Amino acid sequence: MSRIALITGGVTGIGAATCLALKAAGYQVIANYFGNDAEAKEFANASGLPVYAWDVADLDACTKGVADITAQHGPIEVLVNNAGITSDAMLHKMTGEQWRSVIDIDLGGCFNMCRSVIEGMRERRFGRIVNISSVNGLSGQAGQTNYAAAKAGVIGFTKALALEGASRDITVNAIAPGYTQTAMVAAVRPDILEKIVEGVPVKRLATPEEIARGVVFLVADDAGFITGQTLSINGGKYMT
């Protein structure tokens, strides 16, 4: 039987590409989303994949969502924490709500979802978790103290949980994408986006499918010796 994979923020952008890539690789894929029913319905119809709506910033909602999926489809063996937002401002102009909303979804959502699946993974002695971070969590970015802090936190969270899960064949890794062809990046002012692309050595944005390939690699059954790592897929923009 194919393994069940849950992707948060799974109906658009990197999440949607990941859903389709995992489906093509033979996984039973389920997408989570929140906030745009029309978009989710369109994705579900086009992909043939089930979609479930809840807010990853709400621990109780995550617990219920995981329980519903488990009851209807079986235990979640692969989790991809992709859901995230931006709310950019220079720190001296950033509101408390801008800070909290990004931290709660981008970092808090990672905790909420992992907390909701980790006990089952430990009991079954198998799990694959991939947390989507960002190049800006590694390099920093002016105007994104909230986002950079959340995405850097995801990397630290990944390392710690990897140590906790290692003896149970639960691998936990992060992917730090560079600037990618998504709605989030499309919202950037054209002149700023042009400068961003100029700063990428390969002189282009990533495609969502290129990020998804990294996920497929990390969640494979035979990737069990890779854990606690951050895979940077950024076109050479930032190297550690």
- Active-site residue numbers? 147
Reduced to 3 states (helix: H, G, I; strand: E, B; else coil), residue 53 is strand
Which strand (E) or helix (H) includes residue 29? strand 28-33
> What single string gives the DSSP state of each residue in 142-168?
TTBHHHHHHHHHHHHHHHHHHHHHGGG
Amino acid symbol at 25 = A
Compute how many other C-beta atoms are within 10 angstroms of the C-beta atom of residue 72: 10
* Residues 201, 204: Cα–Cα separation, whole Å: 8
> What single string gives the DSSP state of each residue in 76-136?
--EEEE-------B-GGG--HHHHHHHIIIIIHHHHHHHHHHHHHHHHHT-EEEEEE--HH
Reduced to 3 states (helix: H, G, I; strand: E, B; else coil), residue 229 is coil
Asked whether the beta carbons of 233 and 177 are under 8 A apart, the reply is yes
